[in-house]
Amino acid sequence: MARRRQAVTIKHVAADAGVSLQTVSRVINNEPSVSSDMQRRVQASIDKLGYVPSIAAQRMSGSRSYLILAINDRDRTIADWRARLGTDWVDQMLLGGMLKCAEHGYRMIFELVDTHSDHVERELSAAIAALQPDGIILTPPHSDNPQIVQFLSGQNIPFVRIGSIQNGAGISISMDDEGSARTATRHLLELGHRRIGFIAGASEYELSGWRVDGWRQAMDAAGAVCDGLLEYGNFSYASGEAAARRLLMAPERPSAIIASNDQMALATLEVARELGLNVPVGLSIISFDNTPIVRFTQPALTAVDQPIAATASKAVELIIAAQKGDPAPTSLTTISAPLIERGSVAKPSGRFGG
Amino acid sequence: MARRRQAVTIKHVAADAGVSLQTVSRVINNEPSVSSDMQRRVQASIDKLGYVPSIAAQRMSGSRSYLILAINDRDRTIADWRARLGTDWVDQMLLGGMLKCAEHGYRMIFELVDTHSDHVERELSAAIAALQPDGIILTPPHSDNPQIVQFLSGQNIPFVRIGSIQNGAGISISMDDEGSARTATRHLLELGHRRIGFIAGASEYELSGWRVDGWRQAMDAAGAVCDGLLEYGNFSYASGEAAARRLLMAPERPSAIIASNDQMALATLEVARELGLNVPVGLSIISFDNTPIVRFTQPALTAVDQPIAATASKAVELIIAAQKGDPAPTSLTTISAPLIERGSVAKPSGRFGG
DNA sequence: ATGAAAGCGCTAACAT
DNA sequence: ATGTTAGCGCTTTCAT
């Protein structure tokens, strides 16, 4: 391949408009100190020549790179992609993040990073050195990884921690895990359920704990007992199956179960079927995530939606604001997670009901 | 935000190793003219300092950008993301493309471009000017857009056209639409079906035509008539519904239907249900795409898988090869699309069967 | 096989 | 409000 050069550079524009490079640069960057005459004249040349600045050159001269790095967990993401179970976390991130970036002339670059490895730092600093991003978006479980958070806080790059709570550096955005777990639990309580089981997610994710907290709060507030109703999974189908079996084969089984993600909810549905329990008549189920798959089960699952697109969009906004020098939000940003009602929830029936 | 500078530059490495910048550059780029002593010494400094080259600087000095642009249709992609129907085209592209990029130190950047607009060229040249990618991957319907193909062929950037057949500039990769349609049709013929309906996709996609061709070839070879068995859709659920209704309400209805994508197959399934036709006993269905959703229908659908990950991976390989100056493949690259058998196909029964 | 000098396209800092 | 100068980190010449 022959050496490629920029087709139209700032020099061409400057020559065409008969002004200095700096003036063109000022117009590109919307700086205030340009007379409107000048601004019009230069803009005309830009449009005429179809000039677009090279982000490489912009970054080189110490300015922005217009690149925002979105980092996901490598193993889980690849596993999801290969499993082809319809998990659309990445798509929703792109929907929210990419489009918001585009609005501001930024680009989102997706990266996969291992959480576990001892060289997280090296992976991250390599990506930063290579790309020089203007901001970084962390998703769970990275958002809660102290090693990553500490490393980034020393890098002088704004970063947002999705699904996290302000407990360290960076800007946190929560998807209201505690609140939505409370809402889901209350929803069941209001229908008359008293024995509501809960399947927790992987402990590596802080949000797993908050969901448990929300459930417990709602149960306590209603005077319902929690004993024997909490089981631990790790977000996998298999772990959900085991947890559901423990809950449903106990002497006093729950009349409803909330699972901390869709895969574990699916497993619960299957275990119920095995045990001859009709859903929702014999057992109500609510799941977390609301990935596409839960609309296609029989019955479709009532689920707590994860507003990933809205969250990613907000994350981009916060980074761009921080870039501009605006102060980071002082309070925790929370994007609420709505409960989507479908067919897997009903009033309790039989002896364990209300 | 304070002005960010590269933490470790080529200068630091050069100083540490006690050599010139140029020598370090040669080591980074694996150039042959470096003595192995030198190479080791410099590499040691690189490792010690954790040096990673800035792609902005590399690109600025007329070398590679290590960026590959993957371009998808804006409207359709966003519609898919919003619909949350589990379509994982983008994910599979990332799975194949991103990972292959990473193997070679490249990055994949996703972009959305309008096919229809009259300013496709402007959108594209802006992306090229801003990013200076080393290669571009086009997906349908962009791959067949003559405006785009012609524009890119003048840009001196290698580009791959996915789902396209060599009819112009660029490197084409086909997913064997004709062959897989033939295979699917033969599969039904071998089970004894004679009246096999076909629902074509949007005419904007050349692959729609090839799929029809494959079906027709198999039918002709078996001496089966095609008359009244071909209906046109546009890949939407609604269009599939209308097409299926036309096919199934005709006086001599087909005993099997092949739909050119999953959404139209889903619609066919629903129309069959409405008409009281049991699938697969009363009607066999085969779909194209094999998105996650088709595993969750009742029955699960037999489908022609689209090997998007493998194709994207191959596309990246071809671009990197072209970048290095290797000649483009002389023959059309084809990635075969396997037929995944599930429960929606059975032997024909009743008067229209074999 | 190695080094020195020039320049890529742009912006920060300092003029005026 | 506009122009000039220097330099970002790297690779391309062109030397030696």
% of chain A surpassing 70 pLDDT? 98
Contact A198, A224 (CB under 8 A): no
Q: Read off the pLDDT of residues B48-64 as tens digits, 9 standing for 90 and up.
A: 999 999 999 999 998 88
pTM: 0.93
- How close does chain A come to B195, measured CA to CA in Å? 30
Q: Which residue is nearest to nucleotide D3 (CA to C1')?
A: A20
- Separation between Cα atoms, residue B224 and residue B195, nearest integer Å: 7
- Separation between Cα atoms, residue B183 and residue B217, nearest integer Å: 10
Element (H, E) at B172: strand B171-174
pLDDT value at residue B350: 64
Q: Shortest CB distance from B62 goes to which of A3, A108, A157?
A: A3
Query: Phi then psi for B88, rounded to 5 degrees?
Result: -120, 30
Contact A183, B31 (CB under 8 A): no
> What is the per-residue burial (b if ≥16 Cβ within 10 Å, else e) of B165-201?
bbeeebbbbbbbbbbbbbbbbbbbbebebbbbbbbbb
pLDDT value at residue A270: 97
The residue whose two tokens read 């090229």 is B128
One-letter amino acid of A215: W
Q: If we measure between CA atoms, which residue out of B137, B142, B143 comes closest to residue B165? A: B143
- Binned at pLDDT 50, 70 and 90, residue A325 comes out as confident
Hey, which residues 293-312 in chain B have their CB within 8 Å of chain A?
293, 296-298, 309
Q: Read off the pLDDT of residues A74-96 as tens digits, 9 standing for 90 and up.
A: 999 999 999 999 999 999 999 99
pLDDT value at residue B329: 82
pLDDT value at residue A98: 98
Task: Please list every residue in chain A whose beta carbon sits closer than 8 Å to the beta carbon of residue B298.
Answer: 298
Q: Is A144 helix (H, G, I), strand (E, B) or coil?
A: helix
Burial class (CB in 10 A: 0-12, 13-18, 19+), A344: buried
- How close does chain A come to B282, measured CA to CA in Å? 23
Say yes or no for a CB contact (<8 Å) between A52 and B5: no
pLDDT value at residue A1: 47
- Separation between Cα atoms, residue A54 and residue A20, nearest integer Å: 18
Task: Please list every residue in chain A whose beta carbon sits closer than 8 Å to the beta carbon of residue B1.
Answer: 134, 156, 158, 322-323, 325
End-to-end CA distance of chain B: 74
Task: Please list every residue in chain A whose beta carbon sits closer than 8 Å to the beta carbon of residue B292.
Answer: 84-86, 292-293
Strand D at less than 7 A from CB of B54: yes
Structure tokens at A101: 């970036």
The domain locations on chain A are 10-59, 67-175+307-334, 180-304+339-353
| CATH 1.10.3720.10 is held by the domain B67-175+307-334 | no
pLDDT value at residue A71: 97
One-letter amino acid of A218: A
Max CA separation in chain A (angstroms): 87
Is the link from the previous residue into B280 a cis peptide, with omega within 30 of 0? yes
pLDDT value at residue A354: 39
pLDDT value at residue A165: 86
Task: Quickly give A314 CA vs C11 C1' distance in Å.
Answer: 29
Q: Is A170 left (phi over 0), alpha (psi -120 to 50) or beta?
A: left
Q: Read off the pLDDT of residues A295-315 as tens digits, 9 standing for 90 and up.
A: 999 999 999 999 999 999 999
Contact B336, B179 (CB under 8 A): yes
Q: Read off the pLDDT of residues A246-264 as tens digits, 9 standing for 90 and up.
A: 999 999 999 999 999 999 9
Selected residue of B84, B123, B128, B262 to mutate for chain A interface (largest A Cβ count, 10 A): B84
Contact A253, A264 (CB under 8 A): no
pLDDT value at residue B117: 73
One-letter amino acid of B225: V
pLDDT value at residue B324: 83
pLDDT value at residue A349: 85
Burial class (CB in 10 A: 0-12, 13-18, 19+), A126: middle
Selected residue of A81, A106, A273 to mutate for chain B interface (largest B Cβ count, 10 A): A81
- How close does chain A come to B219, measured CA to CA in Å? 32
Q: Do domains B67-175+307-334 and B180-304+339-353 have the same CATH topology?
A: yes
- Binned at pLDDT 50, 70 and 90, residue A353 comes out as very low
What is the CATH topology of the domain spanning A180-304+339-353? Rossmann fold (3.40.50)
pLDDT value at residue A250: 95
Q: If we measure between CA atoms, which residue out of B312, B10, B333 comes closest to residue B140? A: B312
What is the arithmetic mean of pLDDT over A27-54?
93
Q: Is the pLDDT of residue A150 over 80?
A: yes
Give me the residues paired with residue A232 across strands: A200
Q: Shortest CB distance from A293 goes to which of B65, B80, B296?
A: B296
Task: Please list every residue in chain A whose beta carbon sits closer than 8 Å to the beta carbon of residue B50.
Answer: 122, 125-126
Cβ of residue B91 closer than 8 Å to a chain A Cβ: yes
Hey, which residues 49-88 in chain A have their CB within 8 Å of chain B?
50-57, 59-60, 62, 65-66, 78, 80-82, 84-86, 88
Its CATH architecture, for the domain A10-59, is Orthogonal Bundle (1.10)
Task: Quickly give A19 CA vs D6 C1' distance in Å.
Answer: 19
Cβ of residue B284 closer than 8 Å to a chain A Cβ: no
- Separation between Cα atoms, residue B171 and residue B255, nearest integer Å: 40
**For residue A2, what is the DSSP state?**
P
Q: Is B227 helix (H, G, I), strand (E, B) or coil?
A: coil
- Separation between Cα atoms, residue B87 and residue B105, nearest integer Å: 29
- Separation between Cα atoms, residue A17 and residue B137, nearest integer Å: 36
> What is the per-residue burial (b if ≥16 Cβ within 10 Å, else e) of B211-250?
bbebbbbbbeeeebeeeebbbbbbbbbebbbbbbbbbbee
Contact A90, A306 (CB under 8 A): no
Task: Quickly give A48 CA vs D13 C1' distance in Å.
Answer: 33
Give me the residues paired with residue A256 across strands: A196, A284
Contact A295, A342 (CB under 8 A): yes
Cβ of residue B9 closer than 8 Å to a chain A Cβ: no
Say yes or no for a CB contact (<8 Å) between B54 and A296: no
Quote the mean pLDDT of chain A: 93
Mark the ranges of chain B whose per-residue pLDDT is less than 70. 1-3, 350-354
pLDDT value at residue A333: 94
Q: Shortest CB distance from B78 goes to which of A7, A95, A108?
A: A95
- Separation between Cα atoms, residue A309 and residue A68, nearest integer Å: 16
More confident residue, A139 or B115: A139
